[in-house]
Chains A and B, each alone.
Chain A
Amino acid sequence: MRSKSEVTEHNTSGAKKPLPLWIVLCTLGLTLLLMAIGALSLGRYQIIAPWQTVQILFSKIPGVDLGLPQTLVDVVFKIRLPRVIAALLIGGALSLAGASYQGMFKNPLVSPDLLGVSSGACVGASFAILAGLGSYLTQAFAFAGGIITVALTLLIPRILKRDSTIILVLSGVIVGGFMSSIIGITKYVADTETQLPELVFWTMGSIAKVTVTSLNTTAWIMIAAGIILIAMRWRINLLSLEDKTAKMLGVNIKFERTLAIVAATLLTATAVCLSGTIGWVGLVIPHITRMIAGSDNNRLLPASALVSGCFMLIIDTVARTLTNGEIPLSILTGIVGAPFFIFSLAKERKFE
C-alpha cells in the first residue's frame, strides 16, 4: 500500500491521547461522593459537619453505635438522603437519555423531550390533578402520559409510511406542540387556588415531594433502563452515523434505535414523574461532558450520568437551602445551564 507521505497533505501530530476511561470515571465518582456528603450536611434544619455526616451514615451498620443524636440521624436518613438519591437518579437519567437522543438523532441540539415525553407526562399529571386524584396516581398518570405520547410520536412515521429520522423528529415536534396546548387548556380551567400551583410544580420541577415510597417504585425502572443504555452505548456511535452507512455496517437500525428510544423514554418518564419537568439538564450536561470525556458515546454516556448527578446535587441543594421556600428547579437549571451552554459552544466551535 501507499506510504503516508503520498496521500496525507500535512503532518498532523500533536493530537493527544485521551485519558483512560476508568480514570475519568473514578475522578467523577469521587467528586460525586464528596458532593453527596456535602449535600447531606447542608439543609435548613441544621448544618452538620461533613465528618459527622459520614459517622451518621456508618451508624446504620448493625452493631455500630456512635452515640449520635437521633434527630440528626433522622434528618440525614429520612429527609436528606431520599432527596440526594432522587437528585442523583433524576440527573443521571435525564442526561443519559439526552446523550443517547443526541447520538441516535445525529444532532447535538436535541434534548430528552424531543419525542414529547415531558409534555406528555405533564398532560397525564395535569389530568390527574384536575380529577383530584392523589399524588401516587398523579405520578402513574404522568408516567403513562409520557409513554403514550412517545408511542404516538413513533406511530406517525408509520402512518405516513416514511421511516426516516427527520420524519420522526418532525412528528416529535408536532406531538410535543399539541401536548403543550393541552397543558395550556388544563391550566386555563384549573382552580387557581388549589390545582394551578400543583400544575406549576409539574411544569417547573422540584424534588421536594419525592418520598421513599415513590423512589422505591421508580428507581428500579430507572436503573434497568439506564443499564440498557450503558450496555448499548457503543451502538449509539453507530446509530449516530448516516442511516446508510450504519446499515452497511450491519446495524439493524429499526430495532436498535427503538430499543434505545424505549430505554431513554423510560428514563425520562420516570424522572418526570418523580420531579416534574426539569429543563436544560438533558441538553447541556452531555455537551459539557463532551469537553471532559470526548464525543465517543462509549465514554460520554457513563461520564455524563456522573456529571449530571453532581450538577443536580448542586442545583437541588441550592433550591432547598438558598431561601426559606423551595425554588423550582427549572429556574435554576436555566439560569446556570444557559451560560454553560454558550461556554461549551464557544469551546466546541463546531457550528461555524
Chain B
Amino acid sequence: MNVLQAERLTFAYDKSEPVLKDLSFYIEQGSLVTLLGPNGAGKSTLISCLCGLFTPRSGQVLLNGKEILALNQRSIAHQIAYVPQQIRLAFPYKVRDYIAMGRAPYLGIFTKPGAKDYQSVDDAMERMGISQLSNKACTQISGGEAQLVDICRAIIQEPDILVFDEPTSALDYGNQVRVLRLIRDLNTQGYTVILTTHNPDHAILLNGVAALLDKNGVLTIGKAADVINSDSVKRVYGMEICVDYISAVNRIACVTCAL
C-alpha cells in the first residue's frame, strides 16, 4: 500500500524558478527511503512538501490516498512525525517534559499531558535507554543524546511515518552509525521511514529505497542497490566518487577518490 504519493509535484518559492519539477513517485508502507542530493537541490523542500508544510505550485501529495493539504494539522500529526536536524529551544525544558510534547496531537487546547501520557513517555525512554536523562535540561545533553530524545518524542506521537531531516549531520562518526542502526531498527518494527542525508554510503548501509535528487530538480528513485552507483553519484555531486565492493568491510561502499 502507498502511504505517501506525489503526483506531478512542482514547487517554487514565491515567484522564482521551481525547485522541484513535475515529480511523481510513491512510498510504500513499511519502506525505508533515503533521500540524497547536493546542497540546494531541494531535499528539505521535498520533505516539507511531503509533510504538508508547503503548498506546491501544482500537483499534489497524497497521504494514505487523501490530499495532504485538505487534512488538518492534527490528523497529519497522527500519521507523520518529524524529527528536525537539531533541537532548537529558547528555554531549557527538561528532557521528560520535552518528550511529552509528542502527545500534543492527542490533547485538546486546554489540556495537558496526564499520568497516562507521562507513563508512555517513561516507557519509551526506558526502551530507548535514555531514562537517566529524564530530569536533565535539553540544553545540557550532548548532540547524540539530543537526537535520541527527539526520536523518542517522535515515537510518542504514535505515527505511521517517521521523517528525519539530516539525522546524522550534527553527529560524530560513531553516533552517525548508531543512529543509522536505530533508524533501521525502527523500520524493522514497522515504521515507514524517510530520511535525508549527505552521505550516499548511508543509503547503501540502510539498503532500502534510495531517492536521488539532482540540481535540476529531477528525482531518481528505486532500490538503493540500483540507484546508487559510481555513475549516478558522480553525476549528481559532480565529483570523482566511487561505489564499489570493498573487501575489508565485505560490502559495497561509497568512497571519494583522492583529493
Question: A residues within 8 Å of B by Cβ?
Answer: 1-13, 15-18, 102-103, 106-108, 231-235, 237-238, 240-242, 244-245, 247-252, 256, 259, 290, 294-296, 298, 350
B74 with A250: CB separation less than 8 A:
yes
Question: B residues within 8 Å of A by Cβ?
Answer: 48, 51, 53, 72-78, 80-82, 84, 88-94, 97, 101-102, 104-105, 107, 109-113, 127-137, 139-142, 144-145, 147-148, 157, 175, 178-179, 181-182, 185
B127 with A1: CB separation less than 8 A:
yes
Number of A-B contacts (CB under 8 A): 138
Taken together as a complex, chains A and B put the C-alpha atoms of A16 and B135 apart, in Å, by: 6
A7 with B175: CB separation less than 8 A:
yes
Instruction: For B111, list chain A residues within 8 Å (CB).
Output: 234
Instruction: Identify 19 new A-B residue pairs, CB closer than 8 A, beyond the known A234-B113, A237-B93, A250-B105.
Output: A2-B182, A6-B129, A7-B145, A7-B147, A7-B178, A8-B133, A8-B145, A9-B175, A12-B133, A12-B141, A15-B135, A241-B101, A245-B84, A247-B53, A248-B81, A249-B102, A250-B75, A295-B137, A350-B139
B90 with A240: CB separation less than 8 A:
yes
Taken together as a complex, chains A and B put the C-alpha atoms of A106 and B142 apart, in Å, by: 22
Nearest-neighbor residue (CB-CB) of B134 within chain A: A15
Instruction: For B110, list chain A residues within 8 Å (CB).
Output: 231-232
Instruction: For A294, list chain B residues within 8 Å (CB).
Output: 94
Instruction: For A231, list chain B residues within 8 Å (CB).
Output: 110
B53 with A7: CB separation less than 8 A:
no
Q: Which of A242, A247, A296 contacts B93 (CB 8 A)?
A: A296
A244 with B129: CB separation less than 8 A:
no
Instruction: For B92, list chain A residues within 8 Å (CB).
Output: 295, 350
Q: Which of A4, A245, A247, A248 contacts B130 (CB 8 A)?
A: A4
Q: Which of B84, B107, B144 contacts A8 (CB 8 A)?
A: B144
B73 with A7: CB separation less than 8 A:
no
Nearest-neighbor residue (CB-CB) of A250 within chain B: B77
Instruction: For A102, list chain B residues within 8 Å (CB).
Output: 90
CB distance from B107 to the nearest CB of A (A): 8
CB distance from A140 to the nearest CB of B (A): 30
28 contacts between A and B (CB under 8 A): A1-B182, A1-B185, A2-B182, A4-B131, A4-B132, A7-B179, A8-B129, A9-B144, A9-B175, A12-B133, A12-B141, A13-B132, A15-B133, A234-B111, A238-B104, A244-B48, A244-B53, A244-B82, A245-B82, A249-B105, A251-B73, A295-B93, A295-B137, A296-B94, A296-B97, A298-B112, A350-B92, A350-B139
B73 with A247: CB separation less than 8 A:
yes
CB distance from B64 to the nearest CB of A (A): 16
Q: Which of A1, A259, A350 contacts B129 (CB 8 A)?
A: A1
Instruction: For A245, list chain B residues within 8 Å (CB).
Output: 82, 84
Q: Say whether chain A's binding surface is mostly helix, strand, loop, or mixed.
A: loop
Nearest-neighbor residue (CB-CB) of A252 within chain B: B73
Interface centre among A3, A107, A237, by most B CB within 10 Å? A237
CB distance from A251 to the nearest CB of B (A): 6
B109 with A235: CB separation less than 8 A:
yes
CB distance from B80 to the nearest CB of A (A): 7
B105 with A103: CB separation less than 8 A:
no
Instruction: For A252, list chain B residues within 8 Å (CB).
Output: 72-74
A2 with B185: CB separation less than 8 A:
yes
Instruction: For B132, list chain A residues within 8 Å (CB).
Output: 4, 8, 11-13
Chain A to chain B: the 9 pairs with minimum beta-carbon distance, closest first: A4-B129, A250-B77, A234-B112, A250-B105, A248-B82, A250-B74, A15-B135, A106-B90, A295-B91
Q: Which of A233, A237, A250 contacts B73 (CB 8 A)?
A: A250
B89 with A241: CB separation less than 8 A:
yes
CB distance from B254 to the nearest CB of A (A): 24
Instruction: For A9, list chain B residues within 8 Å (CB).
Output: 142, 144-145, 175
A3 with B129: CB separation less than 8 A:
yes
Q: Knowing A1-B128, A250-B104 touch, does A240 contact B89 (C-beta < 8 A)? A: yes
Instruction: For B144, list chain A residues within 8 Å (CB).
Output: 7-9
B82 with A8: CB separation less than 8 A:
no
Instruction: For A18, list chain B residues within 8 Å (CB).
Output: 94, 135
Taken together as a complex, chains A and B put the C-alpha atoms of A350 and B144 apart, in Å, by: 20
B90 with A107: CB separation less than 8 A:
yes
B94 with A108: CB separation less than 8 A:
no
Taken together as a complex, chains A and B put the C-alpha atoms of A351 and B53 apart, in Å, by: 31
CB distance from A10 to the nearest CB of B (A): 7
A256 with B97: CB separation less than 8 A:
no
CB distance from B138 to the nearest CB of A (A): 9
Q: Which of B97, B105, B139, B182 contacts A237 (CB 8 A)?
A: B97
Nearest-neighbor residue (CB-CB) of B90 within chain A: A106
CB distance from B125 to the nearest CB of A (A): 10
Nearest-neighbor residue (CB-CB) of A249 within chain B: B104
A251 with B104: CB separation less than 8 A:
yes
A12 with B145: CB separation less than 8 A:
yes
Instruction: For A4, list chain B residues within 8 Å (CB).
Output: 128-132
Taken together as a complex, chains A and B put the C-alpha atoms of A250 and B81 apart, in Å, by: 10
Instruction: For A16, list chain B residues within 8 Å (CB).
Output: 135
A242 with B88: CB separation less than 8 A:
yes
Q: Knowing A2-B185, A6-B178 touch, does A103 contact B91 (C-beta < 8 A)? A: yes
Instruction: For B181, list chain A residues within 8 Å (CB).
Output: 2
Taken together as a complex, chains A and B put the C-alpha atoms of A259 and B110 apart, in Å, by: 12
Taken together as a complex, chains A and B put the C-alpha atoms of A231 and B53 apart, in Å, by: 28
Instruction: For B91, list chain A residues within 8 Å (CB).
Output: 103, 108, 240, 290, 295
